[in-house]
Amino acid sequence: MAAAGKRPTIADVARLAGVSPSAVSFAFNNRPGLSDETRARILSAAERVGWQPSRTARALSRGRAGALGLVLTREPELIGADPFFSTFIAGVESVLTARGHGLMLNVAAPAQEAATYRRLAADRRVDGVLITDLRVGDPRPALVTALRMPAVVVGDREFCGGLCSVDLDDRPAFAEAVDHLARLGHRRIAHVAGPAEFRHAQRRREAWAAALTAAGLPQGPVLTGGFSAEGGARATRELLALTPRPTAVVYANDLSAIAGIAVAQEAGFAVPGDLSVVGYDDTPLAAYTHPRLTTARADIHRWGAVAAQTLHTVIERGTAPHVALDPSTLTLRESTGPAPGR
C-alpha cells in the first residue's frame, strides 16, 4: 500500500498484485500477454490503492503525446473576440475529451510560426496538427510534410498541398445572399471582406462577385474589414460616405456585420429601410441584434469535431480521405428588406 499522505504509484499496485510494474502497464493498455485472472487482480489492486495511470504516461507507453496541436497567428484579442474559434475548438475538444487526449493551442507571431511547428515536431509534444486560416501561397502544408508531422487542413482541398482536408463550402451562402438582395430590388451591393491573404476570405469575395455577375448587376465596392468589429465599423463608415452609397452590404463574418449595423444606426440610417445587412457564421448573437441579423449558418462545432476525428485517422493510418461537409446556408432575418424606394 502507499505510505500515508503520499499519492499511490504503479509500484504500489504491482507490489499489492504480486506482479512487475510492466505487467501493470500491460493491463491498463490492454496489451496481450496477461491471463484474465492476472489482469483482474491488477485492476482490483489499482482500485484498492486508488491509482490511475496519467494520460501522459499512457500516451508515452504507446509512443504518442496524446495531444493535437493548433497554431494560430492572429492577434490574441481577435481570437478571443471571434466566436468562430471558440466554437471550432469546442468541436475539437468534444472528440479529444472522449479519447482522453488534449489540445495544445499555440498563438505565435507570424515570424515565429515556422519555428513553432519545428519545435512541436522536435519535442514530440503533439501527435499531429490542424492547419486553419489557409493563406495564399501558404508554406505550412509543405513544412509539416517535410517535418513528417501528421496534419489536416481545415479548408479548401485545392490548396491543401497534398494533405487531407476537411472543408465546408461557404460559396453557396454568398450566392444565395446576393440573389436574395437582388430579388428585393437592390442594385448597389457592397462587400466587406476578410483579410486578403486568407483563402476563405478570397473565396467569399469571389463568390459575391460571381453572384453579382450572374444576377446582371454591377460590381459593388469592396472594402477590407479584417473579420473584426473595428474593421467592419471602419469599412461601413466609408461605404456610407460614398455617392451613390450602397443599399446593401454582404459582410464576410457576423462580427463585422453587427458592428456595421451599429455604425449605420448611429449615423441615422435605418436597417433595413436604408441599408440591408448580411453576415456570415450565424453566431449566437446574430439572433439578438436589433434588427436580427440575416446570416449564413455553418455547423462550426461539427467542423471542429470532424477535423479532429480525421486527424486521428491520419495519425493511426497515415492518410484519410478528404471530407466535404454540408455547405453553409442563408438564414433570413430582419436585417434585410426591400431596396429604398421600392
Q: CA 90, CA 245: separation in Å to the nearest integer?
A: 40
Q: What is the pLDDT of residues 254-273, one digit of tens each?
A: 999 999 999 999 999 999 99
Distance of CA 134 to the CA centre of its chain: 11
- Domain at 67-168+300-327: CATH code: 3.40.50.2300
Phi, psi torsion values for 259, nearest 5 degrees: -65, -40
CATH of domain 10-53: 1.10.260.40
Same fold, 67-168+300-327 and 171-298: yes
Q: What does the pLDDT read at residue 55?
A: 54
Task: Specify the pLDDT at position 266.
Answer: 96
Reference 283, options 219, 331, 241; nearest CA is: 331
User: What is the residue extent of each domain of the chain?
Assistant: 10-53, 67-168+300-327, 171-298
Nearest alpha carbon to residue 261 among 285, 291, 241, 238: 291
Assigned CATH for 171-298: 3.40.50.2300
- In the structure grid, which three cell numbers stand for residue 251, read together? 459582410
Give the residue ranges of the chain where pLDDT is below 70.
1-5, 29-31, 54-65, 76-78, 80, 342
Cβ–Cβ < 8 Å for 156, 134: yes
pTM of the model: 0.78
Per-residue confidence (pLDDT) for residue 206, from 0 to 100: 95
Rounded to 5, what percent of the chain is helix, strand, coil? 45, 15, 35
Q: Is 132 exposed, middle or buried (0-12, 13-18, 19+ CB in 10 A)?
A: buried
